[in-house]
């Protein structure tokens, strides 16, 4: 068994930023990540913002360069954390394979998010992947997912990845609605999906943006979307087809097409089905945090129906209800990489206060980091899910009311 003062689980933007802070403070820390390369989801991200490219891989490299100047921090890649327990005032971090355990005084969990797959008949055929899978193929490995594809499911990631595939010259037949039915009935609900479009209006063509107030009224939203042409509206380098639904994926030993049908709401289809020829399909059911390790460690987690919005109860510095256990990044709710980095800094500050038992922590630094977090939120390009601000608010309230009851 080895030991470190702090173990950080996850080398995404939140974990790496926390590691840089701890490294600059000379604290002995170990960052563990199951992926062979550090950077987490940053590695696949790419935006064009006011004429400038924002390339996640470059940001990850800058963080790693900063980390290489911090000899007190080591990176342990290709290794999963499979268990976390507290014994004799220290954390025991159980690793996969033959790597054994690490013992630590404090742990920062920055395990990020995972995708919610949408079940579509025949989704086990080769050529079916999640949107995140297509993003990794195109942006991380430089591999085309296929010649012509289709995205099933309207979500923030659908638009981001459609745009990235367009930049990579990969043809898409558009973004369509998923089949209507269990297990995530709301995913396929036309009204629910349309109402979310309002939050991504800044990605829409300029002529559509004045429609935003009308789209916020369910009645109008329904009328406007139902009137869209079947071939769709030009958005994010592809065509949004808000009144076309996927019924099933078609193919013998790999994807050859998707059976689509026109629809005008959650009722019966409003026309005849047809097969759209494509050789790959991306499923986009949204993202959910991965708080499993936090739960395993016995810290309080605010649970939600279906587990899609489960988040740890946490304080402003990422403190959890378990002593010496901190959280940062998408494990707290789905937001962009800059927000994750700001949360990483805060959790690292919280960890230093915990290690040094300093009750009068640096309020000035805390205020500066909280201001950075707010600024990152203000500048954010994508609101992943309109439900997040409320969920996070409830998690903060749970933290405060826990404090009052002690």
Ligand X SMILES: Cc1cc2nc3c(=O)[nH]c(=O)nc-3n(C[C@H](O)[C@H](O)[C@H](O)COP(=O)(O)OP(=O)(O)OC[C@H]3O[C@@H](n4cnc5c(N)ncnc54)[C@H](O)[C@@H]3O)c2cc1C
Contact call for residue 385 and ligand X (CB under 6 A)? no
Query: Where would I find the H helices in 25-92?
Result: 56-68
- Single out the residue of 61, 66, 72, 80 in contact with ligand X (rule: CB under 6 A): 80
Size of residue set near ligand X by CB under 6 A: 36
- Single out the residue of 4, 23, 41, 263 in contact with ligand X (rule: CB under 6 A): 41
Closer to ligand X by Cβ: residue 45 or 243: 45
Closer to ligand X by Cβ: residue 79 or 243: 79
Closer to ligand X by Cβ: residue 174 or 344: 344
Whole-angstrom distance, CA of residue 19 vs CA of residue 64: 10
Whole-angstrom distance, CA of residue 177 vs CA of residue 134: 18
Say which residues have a Cβ less than 8 Å from residue 81's Cβ, sequence separation at least 6: 7, 9, 32, 34, 93, 94, 95, 96, 293
Contact call for residue 155 and ligand X (CB under 6 A)? no
Closer to ligand X by Cβ: residue 111 or 351: 111
Size of the chain in residues: 406
Rounded (10°) angle between helices 218-226 and 190-197:
100
Query: Where would I find the H helices in 252-362?
Result: 292-296, 337-356
Place of tokens 């949408």: 118
Q: What's 93's DSSP letter?
A: E
Contact call for residue 352 and ligand X (CB under 6 A)? no
Contact call for residue 167 and ligand X (CB under 6 A)? no
> Between 215 and 254, how does the x/- string for binding to ligand X read (CB under 6 A)?
----------------------------------------
Q: What's 270's DSSP letter?
A: S
Instruction: Name the one range near ligand X by CB under 6 A: 111-119, 175-183, 302-310, 359-367.
Output: 111-119
Q: What is the distance, to the nearest Å, from the Cα of residue 293 to the centroid of all Cα atoms in its chain?
A: 17
- Single out the residue of 18, 73, 157, 244 in contact with ligand X (rule: CB under 6 A): 157
Chain contacts with ligand X (rule: CB under 6 A)? 9-15, 32-35, 40-42, 45, 80-81, 110-115, 132, 135, 157, 160, 287, 290, 293, 329-330, 336-337, 340, 382
């Amino acid at each position: 068994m080895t030991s470190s003062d702090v173990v950080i689980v996850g080398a995404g933007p939140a974990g790496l930023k926390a590691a840089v802070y701890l490294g600059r403070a000379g604290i002995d820390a170990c960052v563990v990540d199951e992926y062979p390369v550090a950077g987490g989801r940053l590695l696949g991200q790419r935006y064009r913002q006011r004429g400038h490219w924002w390339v996640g891989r470059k940001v990850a490299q800058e963080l790693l360069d900063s980390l290489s100047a911090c000899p007190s921090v080591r990176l342990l890649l290709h290794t999963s954390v499979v268990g976390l327990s507290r014994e004799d005032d220290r954390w025991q971090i159980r690793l996969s394979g033959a790597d054994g355990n690490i013992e630590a005084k404090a742990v920062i969990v920055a395990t990020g998010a995972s995708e919610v797959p949408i079940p579509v008949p025949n989704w086990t055929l080769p050529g079916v992947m999640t949107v995140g899978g297509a993003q990794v193929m195109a942006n991380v490995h430089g591999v085309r997912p296929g010649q012509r594809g289709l995205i099933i499911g309207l979500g923030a990631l659908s638009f981001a990845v459609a745009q990235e595939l367009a930049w990579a010259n990969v043809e898409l037949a558009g973004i369509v609605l998923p089949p209507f039915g269990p297990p995530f009935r709301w995913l396929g609900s036309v009204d629910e999906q349309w109402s979310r479009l309002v939050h991504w209006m800044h990605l829409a063509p300029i002529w559509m943006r004045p429609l935003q107030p009308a789209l916020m009224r369910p009645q109008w939203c329904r009328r406007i979307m139902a009137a869209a042409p079947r071939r769709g509206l030009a958005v994010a380098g592809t065509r949004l087809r808000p009144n076309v639904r996927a019924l099933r994926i078609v193919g013998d030993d790999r994807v050859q097409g998707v059976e689509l049908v026109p629809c005008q709401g959650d009722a019966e289809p409003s026309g005849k089905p047809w097969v759209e020829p494509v050789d790959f399909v991306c499923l986009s059911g949204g993202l959910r945090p991965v708080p499993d390790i936090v739960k395993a460690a016995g810290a309080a987690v605010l649970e939600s129906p279906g587990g899609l919005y489960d988040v740890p109860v946490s304080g402003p510095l990422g403190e959890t209800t378990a002593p010496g256990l901190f959280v940062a990044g998408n494990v707290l709710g789905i937001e962009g990489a800059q927000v994750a980095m700001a949360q990483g800094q805060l959790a690292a500050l919280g960890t230093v206060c915990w290690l040094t038992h300093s009750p009068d922590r640096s309020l000035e630094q805390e205020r500066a980091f909280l201001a950075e977090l707010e600024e990152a939120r203000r500048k954010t390009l994508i609101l992943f899910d309109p439900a997040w601000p409320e969920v996070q608010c409830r998690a903060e309230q749970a933290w405060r009311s826990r404090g009052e009851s002690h």
